[in-house]
Amino acid sequence: MTQERLDEILDRLEKSPEAPLLILTDHEALEAYEGVRRTHKEAKLLVMKGMRYIAITEAAVKRILEQLKRERLQYARTVEIYDKEIQGVMELMETDRKRYFSPDCVEPVFREK
């Protein structure tokens, strides 16, 4: 990593210390972290699947934590929707019913012959 790139990273972190800095590649994150630690001993490196962050304050780490909690909540809602759909399809297989309409879909009304 060039000194110019490290200076750019330090500048961004110091301008917004409450915001973590997202780094795109593993090797850049590791190199940048070592450089940042020279001036910010409290710096943290967070490497997760697809994400690499450097944070120089606890506030920045808390922002990452809050984002993860929001994403987890959204994921839980998605799982809940799939659970309802699975239950409906299983009921279709286990009963004499011939049709299944998701709760999000309007079931058509058929005219009697």
Residue 1 in this model has a pLDDT that exceeds 90 = no
Residue 104 in this model has a pLDDT that exceeds 90 = no
Give the model's pLDDT for residue 97. 84
Burial of residue 6 (CB within 10 Å: 0-12, 13-18, 19+) is middle
Give the model's pLDDT for residue 30. 94
Domain that holds residue 90: 3-94
Give the model's pLDDT for residue 113. 64
Cα 77–82–86 angle (5° rounding)? Answer: 150
Residue 17 DSSP class: T
pLDDT tens per residue, range 27-71: 999 999 999 999 999 999 999 888 899 999 999 999 999 999 999
Cα–Cα dist 72/24, whole Å: 22
Containing H/E element for 96?
none
The answer to whether residue 112 sits within a structural domain is no
Give the number of domains in the chain. 1
The answer to whether residue 25 sits within a structural domain is yes
CA torsion sign for 35, 38, 39, 40 is positive
The answer to whether residue 99 sits within a structural domain is no
The answer to whether residue 18 sits within a structural domain is yes
Provide the whole-model pTM: 0.70
Q: Which two tokens stand for residue 100?
A: 């299944």
Residue 3 in this model has a pLDDT that exceeds 90 = yes
Q: Which two tokens stand for residue 112?
A: 């009697």
pLDDT tens per residue, range 77-96: 999 999 999 998 999 889 88
